[in-house]
Amino acid sequence: MLALNQINPIGIGTYQLDLENKDKTLQSLFHSVNKGQNFMSTSLLYDNYNVVNFLYSFFQQVKKDNIFLTCHLEPYIEKKEDVEKQLDEYLKRMNIDYVDALQVHTSYASKLPLLDTYEEIDKLVKKGKVRYISASNTSFDELQQIQKYFKLYSFEGVYNLECKYYENIGLIDFCKENNIKFVCYQALRRNNIAKMNYPFLIEMSNKYNKTQNQILLNWLIKEKQLNTIIKANTIDNIDSNLDSLNFTIENTDIKTLNNFQDERFNNIEIDWKNQGGITIDKLASQFKI
């Protein structure tokens, strides 16, 4: 099994994997692993169970102990037994014996009190079906409550150049202070940041002879000391992502990246209860080109 300090900071994203070209996608995943990527996050809801079903073929050829796998509990958890039932779906569909981390995908996914759901996850850790407890898409207060009673390995949340919500409210600092690994999703906003063509990013891209996305990944991992989840369906994109760590950004440029954010995201009131507004998991999907 992988130790925590062995995890590659560029994780393998599985949302919207190209399942129309399964052989090509599978070869790309194998390439990721051969290049040292060993962290993966997935969900039963991705393409209505089809992504998890597809990963059965992946784990037929890649030893589970060589991949740190995080799985999500999805809407709705209505009774305690639903937690283990969902986990068992992951184990059966991928033909594996355990997952490394289990987390509630969004707070509103649990109709039980959130701490009750995490108590059930803790029981699964004690059973050996889960190695670590993680959290995702919670408010700061919810995260603090969970951490008060359960030792968390990681927190999966939105963070990128434009949308720094979790940094602004102090949640990322809390994670660092409590040795909780912060894992960014939508780190590149599905290429929407690059599509904005910010002049300073274009200038940095030319200066370092790197793509805008490589600049962003380098900054997130080397400067901000965060982990990322990036979906890449092609070998070229995988190699490009991994090459993002092979250069150093000057301090003046780091300061520019640190200071920038799009205030439009800060003006959105998060709908934590999923009552028709913008939930935290939908935040970075706003303001597309």
What is the per-residue pLDDT across 118-173, written as a single tens digit (0 to 9) for each? 999 999 999 999 999 999 999 999 999 999 999 999 999 999 999 999 999 999 99
Count other C-beta atoms under 10 Å from residue 239's C-beta: 13
Q: Using one digit for the tens of pLDDT, what is the confidence trace for 167-208?
A: 999 999 999 999 999 999 999 999 999 999 999 999 999 999
- Partners of residue 184 on adjacent β-strands: 157, 228
Q: Using one digit for the tens of pLDDT, what is the confidence trace for 45-102?
A: 999 999 999 999 999 999 999 999 999 999 999 999 999 999 999 999 999 999 999 9
Q: Where are the domains of the chain?
A: 4-285
Q: Residue 79's Cα: distance from chain center in Å?
A: 26
Which of 86, 16, 87 has the alpha carbon at shortest distance from 54?
A: 16
- Its pTM stands at 0.96
| pLDDT (0 to 100) of residue 232 | 87
At residue 4 the predicted structure's pLDDT band, cuts being 50, 70 and 90, is confident
Estimate the crossing angle of helix 81-94 against helix 114-127, to 10 degrees. Answer: 50
| pLDDT (0 to 100) of residue 5 | 81
Task: Kindly tell me the burial class for residue 125, based on how many C-beta atoms sit within 10 Å of its own C-beta (0-12, 13-18, 19 or more).
Answer: middle
The residue with greater pLDDT, 4 or 278, is: 278
| pLDDT (0 to 100) of residue 36 | 97
The Cβ-side half-sphere exposure at 231, using a 13 Å CA radius, reads 18
**Distance between CA atoms of 68 and 99, rounded to whole angstroms?**
8
| For range 247-259, the mean pLDDT | 98
Yes or no: say if 40 and 68 are a contact pair by the CB < 8 Å rule. yes
**Distance between CA atoms of 4 and 67, rounded to whole angstroms?**
11
Instruction: Check whether 288 has a pLDDT greater than 90.
Output: no
Count other C-beta atoms under 10 Å from residue 277's C-beta: 12
Which of 157, 104, 155 has the alpha carbon at shortest distance from 281?
A: 157
CATH of region 4-285, choose from 3.20.20.100, 2.170.120.12, 3.40.50.360, 3.60.15.10: 3.20.20.100
The Cβ-side half-sphere exposure at 120, using a 13 Å CA radius, reads 20
